[in-house]
Amino acid sequence: MIQLGISAFYHDSAACLMVDGKVIAAAEEERFTGIKHDNSFPINAIEYCLEEGRIKLADIKEVCWYEKPKKKEERVYKVFNKRPLRTLFLRLKAKKRFKEQNPFLVLKSIGYKGRVKFVDHHRSHTNFSYYTSPYKEAAILTIDGVGETETITISKGQGNTITKIHSIDFPHSLGMLYSTITSFLGFKPNEGEYKVMGLAPYGDPRRYFEKLNKLFKGSGSNLYLLQRYFTWEYSEQVMFNKRLCRLLELPPRLPEEEVTQKHKDLAAALQKIYEREFIFLVRKSKELTGTTNLCLGGGCAYNGVANALAYKYFDSVYIPFAPSDAGSAIGACLKTHTDISPYLGPEYTDKQIYKVLSRYKDKVQYFKLSEKKLIRKTAQLLTAQNIIGWFQGRMEFGARALGNRSILASPRHPVMRERLNQVIKKREGFRPFAPSVPKEEASKFFHLKEDIPYMNQVVRGKTMLIPSATHIDGSCRVQTVTEEQNPIYYKLLQEIGGMCNIPVLLNTSFNLKDQTITLDPQQAIERFLNSRISFLVINSFLIKKK
């Protein structure tokens, strides 16, 4: 059975190709268009998937759509009916948009005439989290902005069966609350949430905690947010109104304005409130399912600080590599457990790379090395405090670079974080970097409960030897690497360990400010030339600027 999974028209559009229950290829549309969190129909991602699987569109037996548009449309109009006059123009806009984004019409326009299966938005999240987990029985908690109607679900997975037990509906949404405060703090909703998370440890939550608490009429599994502070139900513009400013006694921050202590305190309070609600939901998941394993899904599962708290009630916690809507393209296809790797994107042969390199002969010098020599040389350069662009094999699926499209640096020097933030990535100085470490060495440097292969949990550091990888509060968003998962990256970490006894690297995504993660060798070389990255490694080529 050949299936094509599609997530589109909200954010993080993506496509995946599945043949007989095995994911052959998957990619996010943003990588091809260069538009961050691109929500357009993922035509480029679909083309890539078909090419990778050497399959024609006519061979596809079923398209699995990651949500039910009809159900979503009903919710939107139902909400508009509460304020018919105020939402008149928005209703017309919605009508037009739903018509243009009708999956049948869009799929017909690309020549697909087969079956289309629509899967509930949160069910797609649930499927992706549970069926890619190692568990045969687990509680599944999904939290995001909004799907068709649901914003939070609790389910139980047993064997191949998933049963939904509890859900919370729009407009009561933890994801939307987080996005609202993100935009209040001058960051872009659906993108800047990571920045708020990074900012939170710099603030004191006490200043705004009680004020934010006033937004809640109900908590945890009875979440009820007072809508008088928000505009979600009747506007697509700014997500809050003047009442929220009055409540917080703070004007919203414009992006170009300085981040003050008040903003840091608000970020800290928001994170605390989110953690409180999250832990209530985790406890409820435990009560309702009685299992010892927990799978997390939905965009909020990127909140690594909160995720780590789930161990209070569960022995084991699994968070997939793309818990947001992108992963739902895969989740929509899944009906049973599957072995899956996050490396599902395009890869390039040495011949293709050589062809690209030859076009930059006057700007770069390159050397083709054996794997052993390449690892040794790269490790030497990293130990000497060089910053390296690292491009290997298939591109990762999801928001995290997991060692195939990464910028690498040594975490041993305290100024490396500033150098990376300000000189290379040109982003806010408060944002932390994630360390990668071989799985078996991880417990020497971090307080881990389990492996964290996809960088989606924040743990306490044990040592002062890696200052650039440690956030201001002593936390680290770790990636544990195994030889099985990523052999060459694992060998590089081991080589570094052999040289300086600290087998840890700073691993940040291979992109510069406001760019999407690097897709192909040409993009990698262009970015290398336009930045102060010292060396670039593409497969077996070591490249330096002339």
Partner 1 sequence: MIKRIQKIIRSWQKEKEYQKKLAELRKRDPFNYKNF
Binding residues for partner 1, rule: CB under 8 A, are 10-11, 39, 72-73, 75-76, 94, 97-98, 145-146, 170, 176, 179, 183, 188-190, 232-233, 236-239, 241-242, 245-246, 249, 251-252, 254-255
User: For partner 1, which is the closer residue by CB, 96 or 361?
Assistant: 96
In the complex, least distance from residue 225 CB atom to partner 1, rounded to whole angstroms: 13
CA distance 448 to 440: 11
In the complex, least distance from residue 371 CB atom to partner 1, rounded to whole angstroms: 43
In the complex, least distance from residue 94 CB atom to partner 1, rounded to whole angstroms: 6
In the complex, least distance from residue 236 CB atom to partner 1, rounded to whole angstroms: 6
CA distance 453 to 304: 13
CA distance 534 to 297: 37
In the complex, least distance from residue 229 CB atom to partner 1, rounded to whole angstroms: 13
User: For partner 1, which is the closer residue by CB, 11 or 264?
Assistant: 11
In the complex, least distance from residue 251 CB atom to partner 1, rounded to whole angstroms: 5
In the complex, least distance from residue 14 CB atom to partner 1, rounded to whole angstroms: 17
CA distance 435 to 421: 15
Q: Which two tokens stand for residue 454?
A: 């996809």
C-beta separation of 233 from 82 below 8 A: yes
In the complex, least distance from residue 231 CB atom to partner 1, rounded to whole angstroms: 9
User: For partner 1, which is the closer residue by CB, 5 or 189?
Assistant: 189
C-beta separation of 173 from 145 below 8 A: yes
User: For partner 1, which is the closer residue by CB, 254 or 464?
Assistant: 254
- Phi and psi torsions of 537, nearest 5°: -115, 120
- Phi and psi torsions of 94, nearest 5°: -65, -40
- Phi and psi torsions of 240, nearest 5°: -135, 170
In the complex, least distance from residue 221 CB atom to partner 1, rounded to whole angstroms: 22
In the complex, least distance from residue 31 CB atom to partner 1, rounded to whole angstroms: 20
User: For partner 1, which is the closer residue by CB, 76 or 476?
Assistant: 76
User: For partner 1, which is the closer residue by CB, 55 or 226?
Assistant: 226
DSSP E strands, 13-136: 14-19, 22-28, 62-65, 115-118
The torsion defined by the Cα of 72, 74, 75 and 79, in degrees rounded to 10, comes to 140
In the complex, least distance from residue 210 CB atom to partner 1, rounded to whole angstroms: 19
- Sign (positive/negative) of CA torsion 239, 245, 247, 250? positive
CA distance 75 to 81: 10
User: For partner 1, which is the closer residue by CB, 11 or 425?
Assistant: 11
User: For partner 1, which is the closer residue by CB, 242 or 361?
Assistant: 242
In the complex, least distance from residue 75 CB atom to partner 1, rounded to whole angstroms: 8
Q: Considering only CA atoms, which of 104, 128, 117, 230 is closest in space to residue 179? A: 230
Region of 17 on the Ramachandran plot (φ > 0 left; ψ -120 to 50 alpha; else beta): beta
CA distance 217 to 212: 11
User: For partner 1, which is the closer residue by CB, 21 or 69?
Assistant: 69
CA distance 204 to 515: 32
Q: Considering only CA atoms, which of 437, 490, 497, 495 is closest in space to residue 462? A: 437
User: For partner 1, which is the closer residue by CB, 265 or 520?
Assistant: 265
Alpha-carbon distances, residue 200 vs 7, 193, 524 (angstroms) = 31, 11, 32
User: For partner 1, which is the closer residue by CB, 170 or 454?
Assistant: 170
DSSP E strands, 2-72: 2-7, 14-19, 22-28, 62-65
Place of tokens 């190692």: 134
Tell me how crowded residue 419 is: count the other CB atoms within 10 A of its CB: 16
User: For partner 1, which is the closer residue by CB, 12 or 275?
Assistant: 12
